[in-house]
Amino acid sequence: MGSGTLLEVCVTSVESAVAAERGGAARVELVSDLLEGGLTPSAGLIGRVRERVRVRLQVIIRPRGGDFCYGGDEFAVMEADVLAARRLGADGVVLGLLHPDGRVDVERTRRLVELARPLNVTFHRAFDMAADLPRALEEVIATGADRLLTSGGERAASDGVETIAALVVAARSRIVIMAGGGIRAANARSIVERTGVRELHAGLEEPVASPMAHRNEKLSLGAAGEREFLRFLVREETVRAFVNTV
């Protein structure tokens, strides 16, 4: 990628992680269940991806879907998952916690950051659900996190470029601002130029037909309808096209 821009690709499988690396991604974020926005992947998946790729591996730490306000047991699960990711060879973890009023949960996030070291830590798009983004930026910085993933509080980064640009200025190099949310090859260069970010996060998975020839149309044991017979994978050529665009 030109101008020192780094691409992180969100992946849900070993196959996608390998394709992202071959396509030129500098980093992958490993998650499960993108229908829920991304949940903590299994230990088996983390370990196998680590065996297969050499690029930097980030692992999301999110025990369930829904909001980002976690109870005591959920936080204990997050602590255990941070330690597991570290043990399995991840380079970093991705997480985010909020209070009910929309403030960043600085104390418990800092606890996870400290637990993760020496891994790097990204505060994910829980930030975009915060009540006051300028204040939330300062709160995230106070946690000790290394990076902040944001769409500028919008559904897509292309709609939040002004806010993202303001966050880059306000961060003053105290934390890396990474843009994410609906970023594709077609709009990546514009987002970089308009915001000043040097890291992009993209979910580039595409639907691939299931190899199943036999289908019981009377019931669904997973995703409903035709989606049950689809898989979502990152293609090497899609990542390469993205890298060559920016």
Tokens, residue 174? 């105290």
Element (H, E) at 123: strand 120-123
**Residue 226, pLDDT above cutoff 80:** no
What is the domain-level CATH number for residue 67?
A: 3.20.20.380
Q: Give dist(CA 163, CA 107) in Å, integer.
A: 26
216 or 59: which carries more pLDDT confidence?
Answer: 59
Residue 117's pLDDT band, with cuts at 50, 70 and 90, is very high
Domain housing 192 = 2-245
Tokens, residue 133? 């983004």
Cβ proximity of 133 and 167 under 8 Å: yes
Amino acid identity of 96?
G
Task: List the single range of 9-13, 150-154, 202-206, 229-233 with lowest mean pLDDT.
Answer: 229-233
Region 178-191: mean pLDDT is 97
Among 144, 164, 138, CA closest to 152 = 164
Among 122, 73, 140, 130, CA closest to 98 = 130
Region 198-222: mean pLDDT is 90
- Number of domains, the chain: 1
Region 177-200: mean pLDDT is 98
Cβ proximity of 156 and 181 under 8 Å: yes
Element (H, E) at 107: helix 106-116
Three-class SS of residue 10?
strand
- State residue 3's pLDDT score: 58
Give the chain's length: 246
Average pLDDT, rounded, for the chain = 96
